[in-house]
Amino acid sequence: MRLISLLACLVALSACATHPGKVDQVRFAKDAEPVLATTEAGTVRGVDGAGTRAFLGVPFAAPPVGERRWRAPQPVAAWQGARDATRIGPDCTQAIGRRSILGGGGGIVVGSEDCLYLNIYAPGGEAAEARPVMVYIPGGAFTVGAGANYDPSKLAREQGRVVVTMNYRLGALGWLAHPGFQATGEGFGGNFGLMDQQAALKWVHRNIAAFGGDPGDVTLFAESAGAWTACYLMASPQSEGLYQRVIMQSGGCLEPSSLVRAQDAALSGPMFAERLGCTGQDQIACLKALPAWRLSRAASLRAGINGPGSWGPVHTDATVPENPAVAIREGRFTRVPVLVGTNLDEGRLFANEVQDMDRYQKETIWMYGDQGERVLARYPVGEDGPAYAIATNFTDQRFACPSQALRRLLAQHVPVWGYEFADREAPFVLPDWIVGLDLGAYHASELAYVFGTRWVFADPKRFTPEQRALSERMQRLWATFGRSAFAAKWPRVEGAGPVRVFKPQGDVIDDGFFERHHCDFWDGTPFGAVH
C-alpha cells in the first residue's frame, strides 16, 4: 500500500527511542536486588525492584545464524553459572526508514540475527501460588518491532500476572518462501517467524513455573501483525495446549490477501534472490552467504500492510496445514475462548498524504482495481476531506469486516467476544497540526491503554482522568479475559454482534458494527473477508 509516510516516519522514530521494556525504573530502583530463576538451559539472574520482578533477554531458542538461518528454531545450548537477565536482547534485524516499513526499500538496518529472546515481568517478591500468564506477540507489519518496545510492568504488577514479550524473525529472515527450501527439509519455508512464536510459547510452557507462572493458565494476546499470526497459530496443530485463551487486537486474518499458500508465496522467492544477485542454481546457498543487513534492506521493497506480495505467514505447509479460514469454519483449530477487536479509525494512521480528490481517486483505484469506482461511490468525500474517506474504507476493508467475519466463524465453535476501541482523543506522539489530520482512534492507539505504560506512539502521562479510568478498565478486562468475572460484564458474540465499544465517557454494547462498517458491501466484492 502507498499510504505510508506518517507510519514510516514513526517507525523511524521508534528505532531511535529507548525500549520501554528495559524497565529502567525497576533495574535502577532504590530497592532493586538480584533474583535467580532456573530454566531448562541454566540459571538466569534478573532484578526485583519497585514492586516488579523482571528477567530480560532470556533466550528461548538458539541464535538462527549461519546454517540455522531459514531453519526451524533449535533448542538453546545449556550454560554454566548465572546468566545475566537484566538487559534486553537485540531486536531482530529490521530496516528502519521513511519508506521501508510499507514497501519503499532502503532504510537503516538495526538489530541482529541473534535475536530470539523474550522478557518476563511479574509482581515483586516470591509468589505464594502460581500466577496466570499473559504472552504478548508484538506487531509491526512483519518487518519491524520487538518485544522490548512494550513495558508490561504495570499490567503485571497491578493485575497479578506474569507477562512475557517476545521477538521473532522479521522480513525475509522470518517470512521468505522459496522452492529451494525443500532441499533443507523446510518445505517451501515462509513461516520461520511463526515457528519462532511457537518456540517461545513452548518455552513458556516448559519454563514459566520457575518464574512464578502457571503453564496451564496462559492468555495469548497480540496486536496487528502479531494478531494475524495468532490467528495462524490457532490453525496450527503444534499450538495445541500452549495457551488457554486468545486476544487478537487489530488483526483479522480473514482479509483475502492475508491468506496465502506456501507454494504460491514461494513463486516470488527466486525473484527476491535474483534482486540480490543470486542467479545461480543454488540460490539458497547464495542467500545464506549474504549479510543480514542486505537481506533486510531488500526485504523492505516487498513490505506492506498484508497486501499482495507483502511478508507474513503462509498456510498449507507442515506448520499450518490448511487455510485458517477453512480450519476455523470447520472447527479444526485450538478451541479456546477468543476476544477479537479493532479500533474505530484504524486507517487514519496511513492516510495523511491523501489531501486532494485526485490522490484519493488514484489511491482507491490502485488498491481496489476494477472495484475502485464502487468503493468511491460507497465512500464519498465529505466535509472532512479525502484523507478521512480513504481512511474509512481502509479501516472497514482491512480491519473491521475481517475481524467481524472472524468472530462469526469462531463463535460457531468457541466462546467469542468482540470490542471496538473508540477513544478519538487518544494521545499521540505528534500534534494534529503536524500529522495533517485528526487521527481519532488510530491503529495501535489502544496499546497505551492495555499496558498502561509509554510506548512510541503515546504516553499515558497525557491521559485525562476519564482516559486513565478507561485504561484501568481495559487492563482488568484483558487480565481476566475468559474468566467468570469477565463474562459477567460482557455479552458474548452471537451472529453479527454485539461488540463492546470502549470510550472514556463509558463503554456501550453495540449491535450495529456490521452495518456501521459497510461489511455487506465488502462481502459483495473480491476484497471481502474470506468466510
Virtual CA dihedral for 255, 347, 491, 476, nearest 10 degrees? 120
User: Of residues 19, 205, 443, 518, which has the active-site annotation?
Assistant: 443
CB atoms within 10 A of CB 438: 15
User: Of residues 100, 153, 224, 445, which has the active-site annotation?
Assistant: 224
- What is the DSSP secondary-structure string of 79-134? -SSEEE-BSPPPPBPEEESTTTTTT----EEESBS---EEEEEEESS--SSPEEEE
Contacts of 100 (CB under 8 A, 6+ apart): 8, 11, 106, 107, 143, 297, 300, 303
Rounded to whole angstroms, the Cα distance separating 96 from 74 reads: 28
Question: Phi and psi for 184 in degrees, rounded to 5?
Answer: -100, 5
Q: What's the distance, CA 219 to chain centroid?
A: 15
- Establish whether 443 is a catalytic residue: yes
- For the chain, the farthest-separated pair of C-alpha atoms sits apart, in whole angstroms, at 67
Residue 34, Ramachandran bin (φ over 0: left; ψ between -120 and 50: alpha; else beta): beta
CB atoms within 10 A of CB 315: 26
Rounded to whole angstroms, the Cα distance separating 475 from 509 reads: 18
- Establish whether 346 is a catalytic residue: yes
Grid coordinates of 515: 452495518
User: Of residues 255, 346, 363, 420, which has the active-site annotation?
Assistant: 346
Residues designated as active site: 224, 346, 443
